[in-house]
Structure 1
Amino acid sequence: MSASAAVRAKAARIVADVAEHGRSLDAVLSHESSATKQERGLLRSLSYDSIRWYVRLDALLSRLLSRPNQTLDPEIRALAIVGLCQLIYTDIPEHAAVAETVAATRLLKQPRASGFVNAVLRRCQREHARLLPEIDRDLAVRTAHPRWLVEKLRKDWGERANDILDANNQRPPFWIRVNRLRVTPANYREQLQASQIGVAASMFEDTALLLDRAMDVGELPGFNEGLVSVQDAAAQLAGHMLDPQRGERILDACAAPGGKTGHLLELQPEPGVLTAVDVSPERLTRVTQNLQRLQMSAQVLAGDAAAPAGWWDGKTFNRILLDVPCSATGVIRRHPDIKLLRRGDDIAALAARQSQLLRTSWSLLQPGGRLLYASCSALQTETTAVIEDFLRTEPSARDVTEQRLQDLPASEALGQAHVGTASGVHGLRIAAGSAGMDGFYYALLEKPC
């Protein structure tokens, strides 16, 4: 049996684990290994693209079945999706895509399904040009999103919703963050050039660089030495918005995996005390690993930011970063499994948790201090609605988001992003795809003295 067929079989198992069993795509992929770099790349590509386009491919599959509503084994359904993905979304030669996908049935220990998979893929070759326009009349199918999410995005974003839906289906851009404590942006650009790595765009005075291709972190000059981190430009905005000052006490209230923790330390001259808290002890290991790679230190504590009695020393903080757990609907292009794993019924509970975290974190903030509410959700229920409800009950709190944005380092890319605050809406809403950034929301709140 060929290695290529083995990759298809592995991809089918991964897709089934996500679509049928609700497992995280990244978590499943982390346990898979292939012999060569090429096989690993193909497995990752097939898995991500099959999940990214699952809703549309599944609708196509339904039209290709010989019997309507035919019951399929989860792994065979997933294998058919992987095969359709190759025919519709890749440049893999069609004969290879069909042959290797059919061969994968034996590796899945279901050789009797080979005829079914072959028939579906052959019919797709003949009929997809007619069938795709028919199923694409449904916007949710065309954009491969769950219907509940399409409806919410259209309600919250109006005419921009279609652009967001399309942006969610793009492969994510590869942004990096230069650690100015270890290397100048100009010097790091020289190192990239020497490694034949191109820079397509930059932000924040060249500390945020958009590379012209994605790559393994091991290919980045000085990554293991802490010269650079991988982080989307929208996520990098958090550190610049909070603007830590010399000697301040800072709380990173939901810190894992630690990308923003490290950035705050890079930005703060003569750091005071930075406390990184997360409810998951397992995820805190990532925070510690990131800090070690950057050769930085922080007080890393396991605890619930909404229940500080278990970890807080009673001293208030000058600045608080509250990057709340959310639906992550702003970063779907990085995590396409969100389309399949998240449910519309999840949003209200998430918003309640976010509100609880915000109110508790506010009580830990010094008078005159600033709290940055951050969310990678694209939905107003988890963003503007949370802030507006908070400001109604804390009328003395000031939204200073716009004021801080005006003070940020000049950046042509940010200026062209059209991410400014809307009239009467608190905070900053960034639509996925704006200036190559992920979808994000920020509200910078100041506590009265």
Structure 2
Amino acid sequence: MKLPAKVDLRADTAWVIFQVLEQGKSSREALAIAQARHSKKDAAWLQEMAMGVFRHLPQLQIWLRELLEQPLKGSKKILEHVILLGFYQQAFSRVSDHAAVAATVNAAEVLGGKGLKGLINAILRNFQRQQLAEQVSDNPIIQSGLPKWLYKRLANAYPQELESLLSGMNQPAPIWLRVNQQQCTQPDYCNALAEADIRFALSEAHPHAVILLDRTPITTLPGFAEGWFSVQDGAAQLAAPLLDAQPGERILDCCAAPGGKSAHILERTSGLAELIALDSEASRLTRMSENLQRLQLHANLVCADAAEVDGWWDGKPFDRILLDAPCSATGVIRRHPDIRWLRKSADIEVLQALQYKILSNLWRTLKSGGTLVYATCSVLPVENKAQISRFLQEHSDAQLLPIQPGETIEQPGRQILPGEQQMDGFYYARLLKS
């Protein structure tokens, strides 16, 4: 993952797009590298453009196939991503056509395409001349901006809600904050935001949440260094209340990093006997440790494979377990548009097996009378209600603790769809060990 030697905003944007689509890197990883050498304003533009390409990729690729006679190969492949960026700027952004063409052609030279500048210029000019930005496909899969396999799964699972679901997945996500009750009250934090002229909204369903109405660098917000708040979507903020930990209890937060849910549990409940935060990635636990330190909270961090219980469990049962299971992350595509292209259909079956293995193995670490909350940031039923339904049928000591009216063994838990009450897509189910 080596950036071009010359710093060029559009070249670096195309490089990020290439890393995700051709190299399978996450946008977070690629953006961190590329944005580091740009001003805050340019870094924000870079991210906006890259994410826009990921959201509209199927349509952009149709235009590319129409105007580029032969696919580019080898070291020149990245130039296709420069062209995609040029199309996106002309069709979907506020960048003027003239600036989009001229600057994008110059970026091609930075990326080693000096000999193809004429071709790229002609393609972008033809895009303008033929007014392709007004010729949008009426294919619903293309319009969705999703890969075919994912669109079909969603259409089968949510035939009635499909239109609103797709709309929610393609809208940029708002920034939610959770006020740290140990350090600040929500009214006091709202006053601090108002004094800083930062616009915000509140949520009736989230008594400690604030929704920012403007994009503001998180570290510049009031009280960041003092630990007054965490960044956490409204859907994720439901985990700790559903778990409802009580003083004196031993709690396990499994797959815990980067620690938002652990922190929320600690903020809500003083006097826990212990909270163990388990994750398999040491680097993520390091970040979690830093977050907890900023919030002035403490948990016992354990780096281990959640599914291999005998390797980390000391035999003392937990009163409550929060399992935020590894998943497809299809519920947070609006926040991370690259997920739609990084995730493959074959991944789902692998994730299903892992989820069920972790859930089944963790169950024996829960005491009789204890509660387990199962959570994912997925909207695919096979990762959610199908898993819990199977578990209830195969474990006679498992009982459904309904989160909302109407839950049954066949239809357990609560599925939140992207955009619902401004939240990410999320699933929760609550189980009692009888």
Alpha carbons of 1:339 and 1:350: their partners in 2 closer, same or farther (altered >3 Å)? same
Partner-residue secondary structure (3-state), 1:222: coil
* 1:17-416 → structure 2 map (5 Å cutoff): 17-32=19-34, 33-65=36-68, 67=69, 69-72=70-73, 73-129=76-132, 132-133=135-136, 136-204=137-205, 206-402=207-403
Matched to 2:189, the amino acid is Y
Quick one: distance in 1 between partners of 2:141 and 2:336?
18
Quick one: distance in 2 between partners of 1:430 and 1:132?
34
Deviation at residue 76 of structure 1 after TM alignment: 0.4
Percentage identity across aligned positions?
39
Partner-residue secondary structure (3-state), 1:213: coil
CA displacement 1:167-218 (0-9 Å, x = unmatched) = 1111111111001111111100000100111122324453111111222111
Q: Which moved more, 1:161-170 or 1:376-385?
A: 161-170
Partner-residue secondary structure (3-state), 1:55: helix
Alpha carbons of 1:116 and 1:159: their partners in 2 closer, same or farther (altered >3 Å)? farther
Alpha carbons of 1:203 and 1:220: their partners in 2 closer, same or farther (altered >3 Å)? farther
CA RMSD for the aligned pairs? Answer: 1.9
Partner of 2:3: none
Alpha carbons of 1:370 and 1:10: their partners in 2 closer, same or farther (altered >3 Å)? same
* Equivalent residues of 2:63, 2:132 under 8 A apart: no
Quick one: distance in 2 between partners of 1:226 and 1:147?
43
Quick one: distance in 1 between partners of 2:428 and 2:59?
32
CA displacement 1:251-283 (0-9 Å, x = unmatched) = 011111111111111111322200001111121
Deviation at residue 228 of structure 1 after TM alignment: 0.4
Correspondence 1:430 to 2:427: no
Partner of 1:410: none
Deviation at residue 345 of structure 1 after TM alignment: 0.9
Quick one: distance in 2 between partners of 1:359 and 1:289?
31
Quick one: distance in 1 between partners of 2:51 and 2:134?
23
Alpha carbons of 1:22 and 1:383: their partners in 2 closer, same or farther (altered >3 Å)? same
Quick one: distance in 2 between partners of 1:325 and 1:203?
29
TM-score, length basis structure 1: 0.91
Partner of 1:417: none
Matched to 2:425, the amino acid is G
Gaps of 5+ in 2: 1-5
Runs of 4+ in 1 over 4 A off after TM superposition: 420-424
Quick one: distance in 2 between partners of 1:366 and 1:104?
60
Gaps of 5+ in 1: 407-419
TM-score, length basis structure 2: 0.94
Correspondence 1:442 to 2:428: yes
Alpha carbons of 1:401 and 1:119: their partners in 2 closer, same or farther (altered >3 Å)? farther
* Equivalent residues of 2:141, 2:151 under 8 A apart: yes
Deviation at residue 5 of structure 1 after TM alignment: 8.2
Deviation at residue 85 of structure 1 after TM alignment: 1.1
* Equivalent residues of 2:389, 2:410 under 8 A apart: no
Deviation at residue 302 of structure 1 after TM alignment: 0.6
Quick one: distance in 1 between partners of 2:247 and 2:427?
26
* Equivalent residues of 1:421, 1:429 under 8 A apart: no
Partner-residue secondary structure (3-state), 2:135: helix
Matched to 1:70, the amino acid is P
* Equivalent residues of 2:72, 2:80 under 8 A apart: no
Quick one: distance in 1 between partners of 2:325 and 2:372?
12
Quick one: distance in 2 between partners of 1:37 and 1:280?
29
* Equivalent residues of 2:373, 2:430 under 8 A apart: yes
Count how many residue pairs are aligned between Structure 1 and Structure 2.
427
* Equivalent residues of 2:101, 2:124 under 8 A apart: yes
Alpha carbons of 1:343 and 1:334: their partners in 2 closer, same or farther (altered >3 Å)? same
Partner of 1:416: none
